[in-house]
Amino acid sequence: MAPSPIVAIGASHASVQLATSLRQAGYSGDIVIVGAEPHLPYNRPPLSKTLLTQQISFDKTLLRQQSFYGKHNIQLKLGARVKSISRECSQVTLDSGETISYSKLVIATGADPIVLNLPGEQLEGIGYLRNYDDTQSLMPYIKEGKSAVVVGGGYIGLETAAALRKAGMVVTVLEGMERVLQRVTSPEISAFYTKAHVTRGVNIVTNAQAIEFVGRHRVEAVKCSNGESYPADMVVIGVGVRPNTALATDAGLNVDNGINIDEFGRTNDPDIFAIGDCTNFPCHFTNTRIRLESVPNAVEQAKSAAAYICGKELPYQALPWFWSDQYDLKLQIAGINTGFDDIVILGNMEDEQVSAWYFAGDRLLAVDAINSTKDFIKAKQLLSEGQSISKQALKQQ
C-alpha cells in the first residue's frame, strides 16, 4: 500500500516551492496542495502594483503553468478549504466533507488582512487587497479623475496609492500614526516617501484614523477621527495582516504570533511543518524569534522543510530581505532594523537615489536602498557573511 501523500495547506509561493524542492530532492510519493482560491498559484506582490491597474495580465503572475503540476505529479485541489486537522488520524477534512490522509502535513496558510469592521464598510467600492479576486472587485472603480482613499500608510497602502495615482486618480492616504511606514523604517525614509508621494500629487494625512464610511449604496466619503471627511469613489484598506493560525490552534499546535517552528520548519508535532507568513521562527540574524511577511522568507523556509522531509538537514539561515515598488522608486531592504540606535544616509534625497544604513552601536543591522541596487547588494553580502562596516568608511564613500 502506497504511503499517504505529503499535503500542503495553502496554494502560494511557499507550497509551490515546497513541492518543487521535494521533487528536486528525489521525493517520488504523492503531493497534494489544497488552496482556497480557484486560481492556479500566483505571485502576490503585483496585487498592489501592476495587477490592480491591469498593467499586466493575471497569466503573467502565475508561479507555474498548469502543465508543470501535471508533469511533476503535483495534485492541486483548488477552491477547497481545510476545515480541520486530525493529528490522531493524520488527516485533514475539507469544507466539502472530503478527508485526505497525510504522511507529512505542511501548513502554509499565510496571513489575512486586519479587518476594520467600521460603519459603512459593506458599501460598494470598498475593499481589501489580499488576493486576485480582491483586485477584480476593485478594478471597475479605478477611473481617471475619480477619488480614491487608501486607509493605511504601510508598504501595501503606499504601493496601492502609487498604482492608483499612476492610473490618474485623485488619491488620499490616511495613516493613523504620526508618519507613514512608522512601524518599519526610520523617520528619514518616512519623510522621503511622504515627499515622493506628495510631489506626485498624493494627499497624505497622518494622525488620521478612519472611523466611518459614508454613502448610500456606493462609498462617497471617509470620515476620520480628526473631524475631517475625505471624498471617495473607492476605498482600499491596508492596515496590516495577521497570521492565519486558526487551523494550527484548533489542532493544538504551539502558536504565538504565528505557528511556532524551528529552523527546519517543524512544529511541536513531528509530522506537521509550517512555512511562510503564518510562521514564527528563530532568526539567525537577530537571535530572536520573529515573523516575516516576505516572499524570499517563504521560499527559503519551504526549501528547508522539503530537505528535512527528504532526510537532509538544511537549516533556515537566510538573510531576510524585501522590496517595494512605488512609481519609479525601487526600494530594496536587507536585514532587520529592529533595535537600531544610529543611521547613516548615503546619496541624495533630492535625486531619489539614497540608502539608509542602520546600526546598533558599531554593528550593521540593515539597509534600506532606494534606486541604489549597488548599496543593497553590498549590504546583503556584508550581512550574509556576518560582517559589518565602519560608519566612517561608509561616510567616505
pLDDT (tens digit per residue) in 17-54: 999 999 999 999 999 999 999 999 999 988 888 888 88
pLDDT for the residue 26: 95
Residue with cell 560582517: 387
253, three cell numbers: 499546535
pLDDT single digits (tens) 156-203: 999 999 999 999 999 999 999 999 999 999 999 999 999 999 999 999
Q: Quick check: 4 pLDDT over 90?
A: yes
- Torsion over CA: 228, 233, 239, 245 (sign): positive
Return the HEC string of the chain. Answer: CCCCCEEEECCCHHHHHHHHHHHHCCCCCCEEEEECCCCCCECCHHHHCCCCCCCCCHHHHECCCHHHHHHCCEEEEECCCEEEEECCCCEEEECCCCEEECCEEEECCCEEECCCCCCCCCCECEEECCCHHHHHHHHHHCCCCCEEEEECCCHHHHHHHHHHHHCCCEEEEECCCCCCCCCCCCHHHHHHHHHHHHHCCCEEECCCCEEEEECCCECCEEEECCCCEEECCEEEECCCEEECCHHHHHCCCCECCCEECCCCCECCCCCEEECCCCEEEEECCCCEEECCCCHHHHHHHHHHHHHHHCCCCCCCCCCCEEEEEECCEEEEEEECCCCCCEEEEEEECCCCEEEEEEEECCEEEEEEEECCHHHHHHHHHHHHCCCCCCHHHHHCC
Same fold, 6-112+241-309 and 115-237: yes
pLDDT for the residue 52: 83
pLDDT for the residue 393: 85
Class of domain 328-395: alpha beta
Choose the CATH number for 6-112+241-309 among 3.30.1950.10, 3.90.950.10, 3.40.50.1100, 3.50.50.60: 3.50.50.60
pLDDT for the residue 49: 80
7, three cell numbers: 499535503
Domain assignments of the chain as residue spans, ordered by start:
6-112+241-309, 115-237, 328-395
Q: Quick check: 226 pLDDT over 90?
A: no
Residue 370: which residues within 8 A CB-CB, separation 6 or more? Answer: 189, 192, 329, 330, 331, 352, 353, 354, 355
Is there a contact between 257 and 301 (Cβ–Cβ < 8 Å)?
Answer: no
Choose the CATH number for 115-237 among 3.50.50.60, 3.40.50.720, 3.20.20.70, 1.10.8.100: 3.50.50.60
Q: Quick check: 396 pLDDT over 80?
A: no
pLDDT single digits (tens) 275-292: 999 999 999 888 899 999
396 vs 335, higher pLDDT: 335
